Amino acid sequence: MRKIYSTLIFPLLLFFLFLSFPVPSFAKSYSIVSDKYVININPDKSADVVEYLTYNFDGSFSWAEMWIPTKVTRQGYMTDAKITDFNVQSINQKPVYLDQTKTENNRFYAKWSYTAYNEKRTFLIRYKIENAIKKYPEIAEFYWQIIGNEWKIPHQDVEILVRLPESAAAPEDLLVYGHGPLNGISEIVDLQTVRFKASSVSAGQFMEIRTIFPASFIFGEIDGNKTVQEIKKEEENFVRETIFAAGKEQIIMLVTKYWLVIQILTFIIWAVAWFFTWKKYGKEYDVGNLPKHVFDLPSLLPPAEVSILMGQDTDPNTNAFTATIFDLAQKGYIQIRDEVRLKSGFFRPKQEIKTFLIYTPESKKATSFELKKYENDLLLLLFGKMAHDAPEFMKDYILNIPEAEKETFRAITLEEIKSWLKKSENGLIFERWFKDWSKSVKKEFKSQNILDPVSLKAYKVFIVLSIVLAIITVNYYIGVATAFLIRYLKRWDKKWAGQAKLWEAFKRFLDDFDSFKTLPPESYKLWERYLVFGILFGNASKIIKMLPIVFANPATVPALWYVSTYDNGSVTNFQSTTDTFSTMVNSLNTVTSELRTASTSAAHYSSGGGGGFSGGGGGGGGGGGGGAG
């Protein structure tokens, strides 16, 4: 209850914070209607830049200028570059005169003259950026503000093509990120080329590009110890900053001092209405005293359907997708196999592990379960859509496959799943598939009527009234509070309330699983189910942490769906491969989570394989501004 009250009051407190922020103004005497770049990265850490800068002049103009910072420190990044070989010409052969170039006070400056009157003029600008690339032990980085925040006019139709010194071995070796305009996109064109686009860049806004590629492409000294993981973490933080900044900008646009009193009053009225609606229609039914922890599964519901029940009819997330894979394994439809090979190393042999998901519909256990449509759809995605391009490779690699079974053998590795998901064309395919899959799960479970119908009607009516009130009063905070609090107006139907509460108690048990000094007896026969729902609830690592204790007990039920084989054909038991299994579970969770992010390429964020821009960043070199007169 206290949490609900604090959530309700929080938007009201924020209301006063952004009222005094200024609204930016835009210059309109001339504009930049196109800005195209081709940047070639050189092995000596330099970059050759070719820019096609198109002005639209309204009136008479005779000169233009631009400046680029050469030595800057931003966001903890220090860039010490040098601009050389600068020249400019007009693509229509009209005279252009380079009047001045100079570098002083850590800034390169150029000015050129021409004549233009009520026309468009495209300038071809060339220059070299020395020391543009940062080299780290495993990766190299080109991090540069193509357009600085000192420009007083907006840029339209911006495109940057970056070519690397050589081709990467695989798309996974390249990462691309864009910062600044939220309409921007970044993409990997091929193994040697990446591209960044933005339909517009506002005056006073920077556009920054970031390209990560193998360090072997660049020779010279190491510039630091930055890793791929650190860069990905930075980009995740930039996404969070973007979300906050976007909300802040909306507040600036919507809130004015004139509406302050009206907005406060309407928000208070809305809050009171919400509270009484919740008290009458949203407060959960009393199901009596339940234990804090439940050790047995409350029902036989599959994980994807439990996700809908716990979320009160929300769509299943990617945890449900992963949990369903393991649920199908335990039903006998999938075997998870680790193939371990020893390869010669410099000092000693190295162990290489490949994890396979193998389709086993003819297993004795599988024939006792009837698949639901969404379960069959998932199998078709893995062993139909994803695996159809690589069966020959897998047949050759898998050990000990009887010759008679190879023709019908279907399997896929985790690496192949990752590779499939990272292809830009597959992101949208999966996005559509996942939406259809979620609908299929909900359709399967919809007939259960898990929500109280009176509560659901009040929930829908209150959403409509809140939206109308927020629009009429231009009250952003009613919208925010509605987004946070509306879910409390739904409650489970009486026949489902008890089971839902038991599932909550079961989740608490899994949340605390690694803190039990003595595991309950159910753990040794139900640990496989614990793992499935641990994946669903996001606490699989706690289950895995305790597996050595579980396996040490002779009463533990063995996992028939997991096997590990070696070059010599020997098979290891499940208990001896806990670390391998932990890595595999974490990898699959990471794959599905990253997939969900990467597949929403129309949003404003990039996962490194391409996508939209974030509003964060600001750590690259370059930048500056320019103008005309």
Q: Does residue 49 form part of some domain? A: yes
- Give the per-residue pLDDT at 242: 65
7-33 burial, b for 16+ CB within 10 Å, e for fewer? ebeebbeebeebeeeeeeeeeeebbbe
Residue 98 within any structural domain of the chain: yes
37 and 106 housed in the same domain:
yes
Q: Answer yes or no: do 202 and 325 share one domain.
A: no
Q: Based on the domain organization, do 47 and 186 belong to the same domain?
A: yes
Structural domain containing residue 496: 284-452+491-599
Chain-centroid distance of CA 213 in Å reads: 20
Does residue 467 belong to any structural domain of this protein?
no
The confidence score (pLDDT) of residue 13 equals 47
pLDDT digits (tens, 9 = 90+) for 417-455: 777 877 767 777 778 888 889 899 988 887 667 888 888
Q: How far is CA 297 from CA 302, 371, 541, 555, in A?
A: 11, 20, 19, 19
Query: What pTM did the predictor assign?
Result: 0.50
Q: Would you say residue 407 lies in a domain?
A: yes
Final residue before a domain boundary, out of 210, 226, 242: 226
| One domain, residues 198 and 316 | no
Tens of pLDDT, residues 322-331: 889 889 988 8
Residues 197 and 53 in one domain: yes
- pLDDT for residue 526: 87
Of 186, 204, 226, which one is at a domain's C-terminal end?
226
Are 208 and 338 members of one domain? Answer: no
* Pairing relationship of beta strands 107-117 and 185-190 according to DSSP bridges: unpaired
Structural domains counted in the chain? 2
Q: Are residues 44 and 183 in the same domain?
A: yes
- Which of 209, 226, 243 is at the close of a domain? 226
Residues 178 and 288 reside in one and the same domain = no
Q: How far apart are CA 395 and CA 470, in angstroms?
A: 60
Q: What is the CATH number of the domain that holds 187?
A: 2.60.40
Instruction: Tell me whether residue 154 is in a domain.
Output: yes
Does one domain contain both 368 and 496?
yes
- Is the same domain home to 83 and 179? yes
DSSP secondary structure string for all residues of 116-150: EESSEEEEEEEEEEET-EEE-SSEEEEEEEEE-TT
Do residues 199 and 341 both lie within one domain? no
- The helix (run of H) or strand (run of E) holding residue 22 is none
515 is a domain residue: yes
> What does the block give as tokens for 470?
């927020």
Handedness of CA 557, 563, 564, 566 (dihedral sign): positive
Using DSSP's 3-state secondary structure scheme, residue 327 falls into helix
Does residue 392 belong to any structural domain of this protein? Answer: yes
Which residue ranges of the chain lie beneath pLDDT 70? 1-28, 242-259, 344-349, 364, 366-367, 388-409, 424, 447-448, 566-623
Query: What is the b/e burial string over 326-339, where b = at least 16 CB atoms within 10 angstroms of the residue's CB?
Result: bbbbbbbbbbbbbb
Which residue, among 217, 205, 150, has the nearest Cα to 178 in the 3D structure?
205
How many other C-beta atoms can be found within 10 angstroms of the C-beta atom of residue 99? 12
Backbone angles phi, psi at 146, to 5 degrees: -70, -40
- 53 and 196 share one domain: yes
433 located within any domain: yes
Give yes or no for a contact between 613 and 181, defined as CB atoms under 8 angstroms apart. Answer: yes
Instruction: Give the amino acid at 127.
Output: Y
Residue indicated by tokens 């006070």: 105
Cα distance between residue 578 and residue 232, in whole Å: 28
